[in-house]
Every structure is written in C-alpha cells, then in structure tokens.
Amino acid sequence: MKDTVKKIEIELDTSGTECPIPVLKARKLAQTINDGDIVKIIATDPLAEADFQHYCNESGYKYLGCKKNDKVLIIRYKFSKKN
C-alpha cells in the first residue's frame, strides 16, 4: 500500500494592496505552511506577477504561473522549505 500525502492549495487575497505588501504577506504566510503546499495569490497590483516571479526565484519556490482576469491576477507557486 502506497502512502499518499495530499498537497494543499492555500489562498492569499492581497487585492487592493500594492508592492511590496503582497510579497510581505506571502513571506509571513510561509512561516505557517508545509513543504509542497501550493500558494494561490489573488492580486490587483499590476506589478505582482513580476514581484512573485522574483520572490519565487530568490526563495527557491517553484513559480507555477499567472492568469489574468480583467484587473485581477491569480498567481500560483509551490512552496518548499529550505534545507
């Protein structure tokens, strides 16, 4: 029997805030989530996509992409704990 671990998607709504607040909120969230969890950011700051690409690159997280819907950005990345 194979053990499986269900990965969780955690939603962080940063709508109405601008740089650097969305990334700061994500950094605070990182203290409470588990390795492998998917983080879904909801943002209205047009610079959030580039900010999170940089944040993921610097933090060693896997950036999963960004979908744009009118003025709302849905950004996803996979969290991983540093060794």
On whether residue 3 sits in a domain, the answer given is no
> What is the domain-level CATH number for residue 58?
3.30.110.40
Q: Which domain holds residue 27?
A: 9-78
Q: Is 66 a catalytic residue?
A: no
**Cβ 74 vs Cβ 42: under 8 Å:** yes
On whether residue 27 sits in a domain, the answer given is yes
Quote the pTM value: 0.88
On whether residue 22 sits in a domain, the answer given is yes
pLDDT of 6 reads 61
The CA-to-CA distance between both ends of the chain, in Å, stands at: 29
- For residue 9, CA distances in Å to 19, 35, 47, 71, 75 come to 23, 12, 23, 22, 12
On whether residue 2 sits in a domain, the answer given is no
> pLDDT of the chain along its 83 residues, tens only?
455 556 689 999 999 999 999 999 999 999 999 999 999 999 999 999 999 999 999 999 999 999 999 999 999 999 998 74
On whether residue 64 sits in a domain, the answer given is yes
Compute the distance between CA of residue 83 and CA of residue 67 in angstroms, rounded to an integer.
Answer: 30
Mean of per-residue pLDDT scores for the chain: 92
List 10, 12, 19, 21, catalytic entry: 19
Identify the DSSP state of 29.
H
On whether residue 1 sits in a domain, the answer given is no
Query: Into how many domains does the chain fold?
Result: 1
pLDDT of 82 reads 73
